[in-house]
């Protein structure tokens, strides 16, 4: 576990693989990188944010995380280096932004990951602390108190903090801003001795039943943590790497494995030219010819086979034509008579009495008014 109080340009650090690495970016140091506060006599408290990335890349390595809660708090780089990066220097570019003056300052942090002699520790336990945030747990005094409580319960010869993860990174929800609720944090520690009986109490059937019913399990050593850390014992994870069996199996060729087809032979660069004339005839000429034939047949039926009015009258009996003519003449006569008939005046056009004076109000039209186009209802004044 390493804490660096300040950051300098091209600073070299030497964390160990599998051990928690913490690097603090203090705002007080970067304040000297920016111009002084414009008002004399006032203490500069500019909002400063940090951006960290691997040199030549937009983001950090997968094992390294960064957190800064507000622009007025320090930033923290933390994570657990992996064995794959041992011996390879990792250069982290740290850019500080002054949100008042929009000026920047850049520093480089060179991380040289060293291999631990007794890594990995065979017995690992992960605790979930409900009343802590990540930045609070990363503080040296808080993490030291937690490791002291674990060492008192576990009694190992060597105890290391392996990793710290926020509950939000494990799919947890953002807590409500009431009662000073915390997001929770997972802390993984490793030791060189088997788990104590107190930690094994979580695996009891009674405690497993209480956890399934969302009840608090009964742990005898919980009082050693309860004063400062509220541990969810139902979420504790105990891993014994000494009993881990290798799951690697040799691949046996059989069903599902493609046979060896030999060396790949790409097609030749010289391709023969293809004649598309026959494709053109099939695609366009044949449908066009069929459409033309159908058009000619329809034109013959509509133009050459049409029967006119004279031919129809010649084939119709005379008595039927006389009847048809008489019906048309009678219909025309009835229509002429309906235009000249007299109709009664609508009730809305009759004289009415004035509601105030009592006088008779004349009709809305005169006698010469065309009653054929008169609407049934008249607008009243």
pLDDT of 322 > 50? The answer is: yes
Taken in order 28, 32, 33, 38, the sign of the CA dihedral is positive
pLDDT tier for residue 5 given thresholds of 50, 70 and 90: very low
Tokens of 8: 């300098």
pLDDT higher at 148 or 361: 148
pLDDT tier for residue 245 given thresholds of 50, 70 and 90: very low
Q: What letter does residue 323 receive in the DSSP assignment?
A: H
pLDDT of 221 > 50? The answer is: yes
For the segment 171-198, the average pLDDT, to the nearest whole number, is 85
pLDDT of 246 > 80? The answer is: no
CA nearest 17: which of 109, 87, 114, 112?
Answer: 114
pLDDT higher at 75 or 344: 75
pLDDT of 32 > 80? The answer is: no
Tokens of 360: 């008779």
For the segment 331-336, the average pLDDT, to the nearest whole number, is 87
Q: What are the tens digits of pLDDT across the range 266-316?
A: 777 777 778 888 888 888 988 999 999 999 999 988 887 776 677 777 778
pLDDT of 50 > 90? The answer is: yes
CA nearest 13: which of 141, 108, 118, 106?
Answer: 108
Cα separation, 120 vs 122, whole angstroms: 6
Q: What are the tens digits of pLDDT across the range 112-148?
A: 888 876 667 888 999 999 888 898 999 889 999 999 9
Assign 109 to helix, strand or coil.
strand
Tokens of 273: 């030219």
Assign 50 to helix, strand or coil.
strand
Helix ranges (DSSP H) in the chain: 27-31, 134-137, 140-154, 197-200, 205-212, 223-226, 277-280, 286-299, 309-315, 318-340
Q: What letter does residue 61 receive in the DSSP assignment?
A: -
pLDDT of 4 > 50? The answer is: no
In 10 A of CB 68, how many CB atoms?
19
pLDDT of 235 > 50? The answer is: yes
Q: What letter does residue 2 receive in the DSSP assignment?
A: B
To the question of pTM greater than 0.85 for the whole model, the response is no
Q: Break the chain into its structural domains and give their ranges.
A: 11-113, 123-240
- Enumerate residues 6+ apart whose C-beta is below 8 A from 326: none
Cα separation, 189 vs 162, whole angstroms: 5
Cα separation, 319 vs 307, whole angstroms: 21
Tokens of 162: 């392996």
CA dihedral (237, 243, 248, 254) in degrees, to 10, reads: -100
Q: Please give the C-alpha separations between residue 254 and each of 13, 259, 261, 262, in angstroms, as whole numbers.
A: 51, 9, 15, 18
Percent share of the chain, pLDDT over 70: 78
Q: What is the Cα gyration radius of the chain?
A: 48
Judge whether 6 and 29 are in contact, CB under 8 Å.
yes
Instruction: Give the model's pLDDT for residue 40.
Output: 63
Assign 349 to helix, strand or coil.
helix
pLDDT higher at 211 or 304: 211
Least confident of 16-30, 79-93, 260-274: 260-274
Least confident of 32-46, 169-183, 281-295: 32-46
11-113 CATH choice from 3.40.640.10, 3.30.365.10, 1.10.3710.10, 2.60.40.10: 2.60.40.10
pLDDT of 367 > 80? The answer is: no
Cα separation, 168 vs 132, whole angstroms: 12
Residue 120, preceding peptide bond in cis (omega within 30° of 0): yes
Per CATH, domain 123-240 is 3.30.70: yes
Cα separation, 253 vs 250, whole angstroms: 10
- Enumerate residues 6+ apart whose C-beta is below 8 A from 12: 110, 112
């Amino acid at each position: 576990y390493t804490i660096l109080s300040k950051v300098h340009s091209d600073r070299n650090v030497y964390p160990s693989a599998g051990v928690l690495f913490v690097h603090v970016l203090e705002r007080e140091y970067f304040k000297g990188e920016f111009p002084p506060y414009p008002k004399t006599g006032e203490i500069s408290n500019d909002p400063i944010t940090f951006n960290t990335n691997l040199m030549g890349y937009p983001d950090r390595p997968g094992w390294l995380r960064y957190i800064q809660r507000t622009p007025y708090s320090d930033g923290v780089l933390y994570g657990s280096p992996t064995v794959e990066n041992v011996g390879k220097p990792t250069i982290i570019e740290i850019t500080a932004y002054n949100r008042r003056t929009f000026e920047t300052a850049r520093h480089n942090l060179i991380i040289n990951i060293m291999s631990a002699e007794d890594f990995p520790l065979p017995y690992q336990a992960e605790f979930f602390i409900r009343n802590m945030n990540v930045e609070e747990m990363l503080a040296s005094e808080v993490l030291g108190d937690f490791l002291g409580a674990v060492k008192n319960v576990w009694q190992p010869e060597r105890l290391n903090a392996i990793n710290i993860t926020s509950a939000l990174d494990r799919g947890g929800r953002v807590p409500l801003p009431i009662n000073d609720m915390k997001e929770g944090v997972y802390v993984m520690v490793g030791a060189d001795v088997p788990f104590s009986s107190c930690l094994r109490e979580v695996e009891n059937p009674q405690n497993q039943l209480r956890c399934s019913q969302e009840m608090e399990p009964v742990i005898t050593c919980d009082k050693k943590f309860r004063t400062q850390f509220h541990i969810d014992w139902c979420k504790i994870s105990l891993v014994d790497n000494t009993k881990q069996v290798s799951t690697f199996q040799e691949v046996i060729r059989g069903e599902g494995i493609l046979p060896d087809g030999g060396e790949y032979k790409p097609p030749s660069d010289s391709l023969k030219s293809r004649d598309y004339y026959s494709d053109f005839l099939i695609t366009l000429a044949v449908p066009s010819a069929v459409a033309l034939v159908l058009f000619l047949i329809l034109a013959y039926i509509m133009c050459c086979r049409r029967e006119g009015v004279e031919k129809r009258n010649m084939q119709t009996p005379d008595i039927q034509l006389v009847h048809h003519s008489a019906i048309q003449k009678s219909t025309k006569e009835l229509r002429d008579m309906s235009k000249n008939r007299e109709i009664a005046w609508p009730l809305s056009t009759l004289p009415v009495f004035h509601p105030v004076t009592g006088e008779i109000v004349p009709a809305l039209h005169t006698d010469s008014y065309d009653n054929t186009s008169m609407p049934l209802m008249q607008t009243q004044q």
